[in-house]
Amino acid sequence: MCLLSVILTTYKSPWEKIALTLDSIFSQNLNDFEIIIADDGTHNFPLRRIESYMRDKSPQPYRIIHNTKNVGTVRNVLNAAQKASGVYIKPIGAGDLLYNNKILKEVTEYMIALKSECCFGLIRGYVLEGDQYKTVDIKRPRVIQVYEENDQKRIKENIILGDHPSGASMFYKRESAIRLWSHMVENTKTLYCEDVVTYQLVLEGGVPSFYPHYVVWYEVNAGVSKRAKKSRINTMMYTDILTYLEYLIQAFPCDKKLLLKKLKWSKFQVMHPYHIERFLSYIWHPGKLWFELYVRNNSYSSTDFID
């Protein structure tokens, strides 16, 4: 057993991005962790190249899991978590980078101090344009005051209605993540939205801990985030959330009203996934407009956290 398992998830990821993410993991000043590379059925997965790279460079124990077929993000990360030995886990996608060399150590210490099941920090986006890296402002969630004030009612509403933390920033206690992802796999057809397990966490009375610093450089316009306004993946992601919400309505009848509100909004997005039609959702669901205005008016200032 070790303190932390870093799970690098890949699917059709270019070798250069895999190596970039691995290098950011190798640089960490935490000693007690392992690295798990979990590939979701990539054809021509560069297994031997990765094995050679890990043997030459990795100062940490590691293992490589290559699915023979694509099973979806949820099952891929669940499988890796079940085979991990860390008390905590940090999933990270190929192309994303740990923000600095202290992140793994500081966040795990923070979680231990708070006895936290789940923790998130802030993310900064980046894009590679030619040979130049440019930063992109990303706020997920946009309202962090509720976490600083430990306003559990508002946190639950915000996460369910759409202002939830980015999966790229999440850390989990391994046993909690396995339990939540297992429920998702056993009760729904959800394939891709592994980060919305925070829905169930807050419905159970849990609260994700907020680590008030940047934790990840997130590659924008790549992987799942690379989707055009009319791309098929948009509809697939919204449909994923629908199946999960339908399960949660049955499992948490006391929160049925809140979940039904989110379900109605999500159904509209499946039927009308593009920006012009989505604007009309404010006419069909005025509550969605008020929630959006609330989030915009209470969004944090990025300058408060630049270090």
Work out the average pLDDT over 63-90.
Answer: 97
What are the domain boundaries of the chain? Answer: 2-226
Look up residue 220 and give its two tokens: 């924008």
Question: Could you count the other beta carbons within 10 Å of the beta carbon of residue 283?
Answer: 9
Query: What's the one-letter identity of residue 186?
Result: E
pLDDT per residue as tens digits for the range 164-209: 999 999 999 999 999 999 999 999 989 999 999 999 999 999 999 9
pLDDT per residue as tens digits for the range 8-63: 999 999 999 999 999 999 999 999 999 999 999 999 999 999 999 999 999 999 99
Q: Are strands 132-136 and 2-10 parallel, antiparallel or unpaired?
A: unpaired
Whole-angstrom distance, CA of residue 267 vs CA of residue 272: 8
pTM of the model: 0.92
- Contacts (Cβ under 8 Å, ≥6 apart) of 88: 3, 4, 5, 108, 111, 171, 172, 173, 174
The CATH number of the structural domain formed by 2-226 is: 3.90.550.10
Question: Could you count the other beta carbons within 10 Å of the beta carbon of residue 125?
Answer: 21
Whole-angstrom distance, CA of residue 92 vs CA of residue 61: 17
Q: Each residue of 60-94: b (16+ CB within 10 Å) or e?
A: bebebbebeebebbbbbbbbbbeebebbbbbbbbb
Output the pLDDT for position 102: 97
pLDDT, the chain, mean: 91
Counted residue by residue, the chain has a size of 307
Whole-angstrom distance, CA of residue 110 vs CA of residue 171: 11
More confident: 270 or 136? 136
Whole-angstrom distance, CA of residue 11 vs CA of residue 223: 8
Phi-psi region of 104 (alpha: psi -120 to 50; beta: other; left: phi over 0): alpha
